[in-house]
Amino acid sequence: MISRFNEKGGNLLTQDEVFDRVKTIIAEKLGIEEDEIAIDSDLTEDLGADSLDLVDLVMAFEDEFNLKVEDEQIENISTVGDIVEQISKGLKLEE
C-alpha cells in the first residue's frame, strides 16, 4: 500500500501524482499501455473496461490510496479524470 505522501520528503501527493498512479493501475488491470490513457479517457468506451473491470479497478484504487469509494461515487465515475477527482477529494488534496 502506498501512502498519501510522495517519495520526495513527505509532501502530500499532487493531483498529477494521483493521475500517474491511477494510470499505472489502469494499465496493469486492463492490459494496455499507460500512454493510451488520458485524463479525459472514458473507462468503457475508450479503454474497453467492462463492469467487472470497473469493480476490480475501484478495489485497486481503494488499496493503493487507502480509502473507501462509496457506491454512489462509483456511479458518477466514467472517465479517468472522475477517478482522479474522487481520489483527490478522498485524500483532501489541493488542486
Whether 35 sits among the annotated catalytic residues: the reply is no
Contact 89, 13 (CB under 8 A): no
Alpha-carbon distance of 11 to 6, in angstroms, equals: 6
Mean per-residue pLDDT over the chain, rounded:
86
DSSP letters along 20-53, please? HHHHHHHHHHHT--GGG--TT-BTTTTT---HHH
The residue annotated as part of the active site, out of 16, 40, 42, 50, is 50
| pTM for the structure as a whole | 0.84
Mean pLDDT of 13-33: 95
* 5 has pLDDT over 70: no
Q: Which domains does the chain have, with CATH numbers?
A: 15-91 (1.10.1200.10)
pLDDT tens profile 34-69: 999 999 999 999 999 999 999 999 999 999 998 888
**Packing angle of the helix pair 15-30, 80-91 (nearest 10 deg):** 130
32: its cell numbers: 494496455
